[in-house]
Amino acid sequence: MIGEKNVNMDKKIIGIDLGGTTAKFAIMTADGEIQQKWSIETNILDDGSHIVPDIIESINHHLNLYGMKPEDFIGIGMGTPGSVDIQAGTVIGAYNLNWTTLQPVKEQIETGTGIKFAIDNDANVAALGERWKGAGENNPDVVFMTLGTGVGGGIIAAGNLLHGVAGCAGEIGHVTVDPEGFMCTCGKRGCLETVSSATGVVRVARTMAEEYAGDSDLKKQLDDGQDISSKDVFEAAQADDPFALMVVDKVCFYLGLACGNLGNTLNPDSIVIGGGVSAAGEFLRSRVENYFREFTFPQVTNSTKIKLAQLGNEAGVIGAGSLALQFAE
């Protein structure tokens, strides 16, 4: 009996973080320690029809390489772009993968590998990763916000990832922060994504440059028609460029407003900020926190923390792997 329990403890999990350019894989222990990792290019040609066969082939190849068998695994978990039906294990509308029609991912991967499979949205699994092994410190109440090319999020409340009735819970990028603001790709106006994603930060800078009359290297670059990135904006601000500081202040105002509303609604232990824009670090976090304090009532102000993500691009594979733990006996 004891021996049998040890066998189960020794079983591994596989995490897959599927993105538009690469699919990242990790073999982990049941407590989330990465033992092997690798990645493959995502081939989105022919309506993304190569993606799942490539994933199956890669898993089988690596198991063979490491001398492992399907029965050595509790399960496989995967994070994917698009709309996910977690029960059926299907994905649709992942446009950066060319998946416009319904993809029966679970069925294909279980058949192809002989290992049980679970799937969820990529921002949700990154939230699970940060909550389990990163900044969330395994607290049951954590909100995760990722600021990248878009803005995504995941909400973990009382230990459960929230999905909502149409799988849209945690779509923090579409919280309205400026009713008169920019149009969003979703069709409505003033979404957080339009002002705090990597492209959103640049858009705020371009708009504010029109009215700024002072001396600023960043404004000169914009006026000259140079391409700038969100990284350029934050670096200029850190070098005390007065215009860049105004832009960063505006972006952090919007983020603080959204975080304040999330805090007042959910009162999580922490709101964790990750993604490429969060590379600005404490410079960003402290400014968001100042506005968060302004927009929350005292009990929330004093109990909900604003934190930076800790796992970087490993949050996805670690969180994906944790989905497989539902199959543990």
Domain ranges of the chain: 2-128+315-327, 139-309
pTM of this structure = 0.88
Q: What is the CATH number of domain 2-128+315-327?
A: 3.30.420.40
What span, in angstroms and rounded, lies between the C-alpha atoms of 271 and 249? 19
The pLDDT profile of the chain, 329 residues, written as one tens digit per residue, is: 333 444 456 899 999 999 988 999 999 999 999 999 999 999 999 999 999 999 999 999 999 999 999 999 999 999 998 889 999 999 988 888 999 899 999 999 999 999 999 999 998 999 999 999 999 999 999 999 999 888 999 999 999 999 998 888 999 999 999 999 999 988 999 999 999 999 999 999 999 999 999 999 999 999 999 999 999 999 999 999 999 999 999 999 999 999 999 999 999 999 999 998 999 999 999 999 999 999 999 999 999 999 999 998 899 999 999 999 999 97
Identical fold for domains 2-128+315-327 and 139-309, yes or no, is: yes
In b/e form, how buried is each residue of 248-258, taking b as 16+ CB within 10 angstroms? Answer: bebbbbbbbbb
Q: What is the CATH number of domain 139-309?
A: 3.30.420.40
In angstroms, the Cα distances linking 55 to 78, 272, 318, 324 are: 11, 30, 17, 16
Name the β-bridge partners of 124: none
Which residue in this structure is represented by tokens 């670096």?
A: 235
Report the DSSP pairing between strands 90-92 and 305-308.
Answer: unpaired
What span, in angstroms and rounded, lies between the C-alpha atoms of 119 and 2? 32
